[in-house]
Structure formats: structure tokens, C-alpha cells
Amino acid sequence: MREPTLEQALPLALRAVKVRAAAAVASGQVTAADREDLEQEGVMGLWLALRRYDASRASLRTFLERVADKRFASMMRRRSHIAVERLDGHRFTTADGIPAVQFHVDFDRILAPLGDPDRALALLLVDHGPTEISRMLGVARSTVYARIARLRQAFREAGYGPGDSLGGSR
């Protein structure tokens, strides 16, 4: 079977890699500075996989998307650290408009026992909505809402929630 040409494969490969690299950065799995390295490694992996492409089994786009999924999953497993953005730069305010300077301390304490996906979601929720996050992470909206429910429970247990006028550390 004939190998696809560069003109056929490159646009599809670049799109598959860029979408997954953006999702990895948005989820906090890698830093924005590492994005280009991740994209380069992804494109190289797709290019090497092209010799295994069989047009009778799938379209070129489907093949590249599946290979990109597996390639990025492997790359993320190899990365042992997760970059967590500090919230110091965000200006949170309390109900009466006073800046909640120490909110990040409570935020970090509440999120510490949660898993990496829940912590990454909490950071994404600062600037994005559930539908946008589901697209960014490539997961179903129901998964995002299930994670939001876990976050709400963690915040309620920490004293933030309906009926708690003070919230925060006590």
C-alpha cells in the first residue's frame, strides 16, 4: 500500500497535534513553554507512524487522530510533574467587594486531596465554562459536571457554600 504524501498528511497531523497540545496546556498537564516541544514530538510520532497506515482500515484523518490520541497519552504519562498555576495573579473579591487576598491559601488547601484532573478543572473554571472546558480537554460535558460536583462537595466540606457567610479558614 502506498504511503500518503506530505501534502495529504501534514495539515491533518498538525491539526491533530495542535488541538491535543492546547488541551494539555489548558488542563495544566504541561506549561505553555513546553507546548512547542510537545507539538514537535507529536508530529514526529505521527510522521513515523505513517508507514503503518492502511487505507482499507481507516481514513487518513481517522488514523492520524487515533495515533495522536495514543501518542499524547503516552507523552503525558511520561511527564511526572503537573504544572499548577498560582492564583495570586487573579483578583477574587468577597461578597462585599473586598479583595480576598488569602483565598488562594484556602483554594490550595481544598484542592490538595483531590486528583490531578479535578485540580486542573478547578483552575480552568476560573476563566472558562463547562462546555468550553469539555472541548478543551476532549471529555464529555457529563464528565466535567461530575468533576464540578466533586469540587462543590470539597468546597462545602471546607465551609464554602450556601448558608456560610464567612467561608474560608476558621
What does the H/E/C string look like for the chain? CCCCCHHHHHHHHHHHHHHHHHHHHHCCCCCHHHHHHHHHHHHHHHHHHHHHCCCCCCCHHHHHHHHHHHHHHHHHHHCCCCCCCCCCCCCCECCCCCECCCHHHHHHHHHCCCCHHHHHHHHHHCCCCHHHHHHHHCCCHHHHHHHHHHHHHHHHHCCCCCCCCCCCCC
Name which residue leads in pLDDT, 3 or 25.
25
- pLDDT value at 168 more than 50: no
Rounded to two decimals, the pTM is 0.45
Query: What average pLDDT does this structure show over 125-149?
Result: 87
- pLDDT value at 83 more than 50: no
Looking at every residue in the chain, the average pLDDT score rounds to 77
**Residue extents of the structural domains in the chain:** 6-78, 85-163
Range 85-163: architecture per CATH: Orthogonal Bundle (1.10)
- pLDDT value at 170 more than 70: no
Query: What average pLDDT does this structure show over 114-132?
Result: 84
Confidence bin at 103 (pLDDT 50/70/90): low
Confidence bin at 117 (pLDDT 50/70/90): confident
